[in-house]
Structure 1
Amino acid sequence: MATLSERKSAVIAGTSIIIMALAAFFSYGFVHESLVVTGDASTTYTNITTSISLFKGEIFGWLIILISDIIVAWALYIFLKPINKSLSLLAAWLRLIYSTILGIAILSLIVVLLLATDSTGLSVIKIEQVQSFMLLFLQAFEAIWSIGLIVFGAHLLMIGYVALQSSSIPKVISILLLLASIGYIIIHLSKTFFTQYDSLIAILNLVFMLPMVAGELGFGIWLLVKGGKLPKRA
């Protein structure tokens, strides 16, 4: 890892972050949001069973996100190590822990896929029970992923703090990363432990939406375009 230049690690991290953002938009923003109807097991079951290929595409997208996260953890450690080695290592471990939790969450989606496609093995179970099981595992995916995003917020907190110490990374990106980390931690702690405050969680989502989107994506674009480049001499 020590032989990998800062510029190469920046390009790898930036490219992976952008790929991950596109995959997340497809898997969660497009497919998951269109197929899963909260609290409606029957409609959700119908949507998924009539769009199996699309649902498989969602799972494939999550696998791309998982692999990209691991690559980003490695590449960002290489890039940020000269600034603060210990905190960069901690940030990398936090992202790997988040990736592990995300992998566990993806297993719930695979169970949903089996429930939607295994007509022979589930023939002895009533359709209403299959629908309820499917919705339960979809809720499990959301809940497990939400816990992982608390850890992801802690990862961004370390990245933002290390970036703030750098003279080359723009301060606006560092501040956006710090705000995004606060947003992830507060929102997903609320989703996990204070589910009765749905209206407050919706407000927090609106407040932190911009830094959460612009923080990491902006950092990824900067890494891809300018990260690790030596300053031009006068």
Structure 2
Amino acid sequence: MDSPNKTARLAGLLYLLMGFAGMFGLMYVPSQLIVSGDAAATTANILQAEGLYRAGIVANLLCQTLFIFLVLALYRLLRPVHESYARLMLVLVIVAVPIAFLNLVNQLAVLVLLSEVEFLAAFDPAQLQALAMVFLRLYHYGIVVVEVFWGLWLFPFGLLVYHSGFLPRLLGILLMIACFGYLANSVTELLFPTFQKFVSPITSVTGTVGEFSIILWLLIKGVNEKTQSVAAQAA
């Protein structure tokens, strides 16, 4: 059986890789290709950099796959702290991942619309461009929906870290704050979209600080194995 430190560092590595894949697929690629409100420019960018667009889809697939293995590693590490919280953390991720996978169909639909296959000859280029933007918008709102679960899983994760005794309590607090940041971002986008430009920068900071703090701690410091062993025996 792997030691708690090995499990912690594996979780940190998976979390880091997931973070890089997510930033590439969710942030970098859209920032390079999507022109807000301009269907012609957006579709032209995708056609000119189709490889980048496809790489973004693959990065999103990788991100969600890594998410599964990450939560399994964290479950193994933190289950001795509180079985119910650990199960809740696991379930929330297992619910989130299929939603995120299904949402990628919207990105793939854009490639179909721009592929110039024969059955699309009934549509003129402007209509295809408009439909492509519709699917990109649906993809965006799919992210808004799954973001609820990206936030929720951090709350039991934060509680487990806070009560663990072998990880700093501050990290648990930061994770719980990040949870409410994700939720605030999603709710604002759905209910008060005009305020999104004010809320998003704040919630981005809470998420980045909370998640990258635990990533760095798991990778660099690991866990206090003696304390973790006591927690396991107590459970």
If the length of structure 1 is used for normalisation, what is the TM-score? 0.91
Question: Given the superposition, is the C-alpha separation of residues 90 and 4 from structure 1 closer, same or farther in structure 2, using an over 3 Å criterion?
Answer: farther
Structure-2 residue corresponding to 1:114 = 112
Structure-1 residue corresponding to 2:222 = 227
Give the C-alpha shift of residue 116 in structure 1: 2.2
Amino acid in structure 2 at the alignment position of 1:103: F
Identity in percent: 25
Asked whether the equivalents of residues 98 and 151 of structure 1 are also in contact (C-alpha less than 8 Å), the reply is: yes
1:6-155 matches, cutoff 5 A: 6-155=4-153
Of 75-84 and 164-173, deviating more is 164-173
Partner Cα distance (1:151, 1:29) in 2: 19
If the length of structure 2 is used for normalisation, what is the TM-score? 0.90
Give the C-alpha shift of residue 120 in structure 1: 3.0
Deviation per residue, 1:182-201 (Å, 9 max, x gap): 10011101212333xx2x22
**Structure showing the higher helix proportion among its residues:** 2
Question: Given the superposition, is the C-alpha separation of residues 4 and 90 from structure 1 closer, same or farther in structure 2, using an over 3 Å criterion?
Answer: farther
Of 219-228 and 67-76, deviating more is 219-228
Secondary structure of residue in 2 paired with 1:181 = helix
* Stretches of structure 1 lacking an aligned partner (at least 5 in a row): none
Across the two proteins, how many residue pairs are aligned to each other?
227
Partner Cα distance (2:126, 2:198) in 1: 34
Partner Cα distance (1:118, 1:60) in 2: 22
Deviation per residue, 1:90-145 (Å, 9 max, x gap): 11110111111111111111111222224433222111111111111111111011
Secondary structure of residue in 2 paired with 1:110 = helix
The runs of 4+ residues in structure 1 deviating greater than 6 Å are none
